[in-house]
Amino acid sequence: MCGRYEYHPHEFSDLRIRFNLDKDLPEFKPSYNIAPGQQVPVIIREEGRNKMKLMRWGLVPSWAPDPSIGNRMINARCETLTEKPSFKQLLGTHRCLIPADGFYEWRREGKGKVPMRIVMKDRQLFNFAGLWDVWRGDPEGGELYTFTIITTNANALLRPIHNRMPVIVDSLATNHWLHPGDISSSMLSILLQPFPSELMDAYEVSRLVNDPRNDSAACIAPADWQSPGPLFD
């Protein structure tokens, strides 16, 4: 699964070129410890143009009676995308990218768990594959944009840490993933493969990341770095 990640806003000029964005970016402060339920930047294709919008992490399907279902839908297993109604109807028209600088998983050691930060070896921005939807069940007429992160089997790097990992979309495939339209089963299988482990890196971080109230650069520091900040645990 993927239950925590980080994103540090990048220069608009870089993002605009990278994603061919149509409009200005929404305001978003650096976050080193993003948790489900928070509003974060997501790249979508809407009205024929690529846009970055703030969405809440935790998918609320348009047909849901209330938004509480989002608490249980932070991830979507790639194996069931074409089977579950919540995901199947979104796969053709509501694919999205979630920019990230890194994500966290917890490695089990004895009776405890050790937080690990997973990044690209070159420390560059990358993108999770996701699905999004708009819920309009608010009696006051408001719209709630939400998303879920697609997961797949862990690669060789992640396997000792966790048996699942988020699907990471290769930079060459971002336009294909964003563009609405059905994807053949063979192409979908290729796009949802685990990202190559040789291009990734992982290291232990402090227990600061265990609580989303801790949101500073100390969360991504190696575990042997002594932080003077608070520890909620």
Calculate the average pLDDT of the chain: 91
> Could you give the CA distance from residue 62 to residue 145 in angstroms, rounded to a whole number?
10
At 226 the pLDDT is 54
Express each pLDDT in 34-57 by its tens digit: 999 999 999 999 888 999 999 999
At 182 the pLDDT is 80
Residues 144 and 150: beta-carbon distance below 8 Å? no
Residue 227 pLDDT greater than 80, yes or no? no
Express each pLDDT in 199-223 by its tens digit: 999 999 999 999 999 999 999 999 9
Express each pLDDT in 162-192 by its tens digit: 999 999 999 889 988 998 888 888 889 899 9
- Dihedral of CA 134/38/126/202: which sign? negative
Catalytic (active-site) positions: 2, 105
- Range with the lowest mean pLDDT among 58-67, 178-187, 220-229? 220-229
At 26 the pLDDT is 86
Which of residues 132 and 20 earns the better pLDDT score? 132
> Could you give the CA distance from residue 188 to residue 196 in angstroms, rounded to a whole number?
17
Residue 228 pLDDT greater than 70, yes or no? no
Q: Which residues are within 8 A (CB) of 191 and not within 5 positions of it... i.e. 6 or more apart?
A: 129, 167, 169, 173, 176, 177, 183
The superfamily in CATH containing domain 5-220 is: SOS response associated peptidase-like (3.90.1680.10)
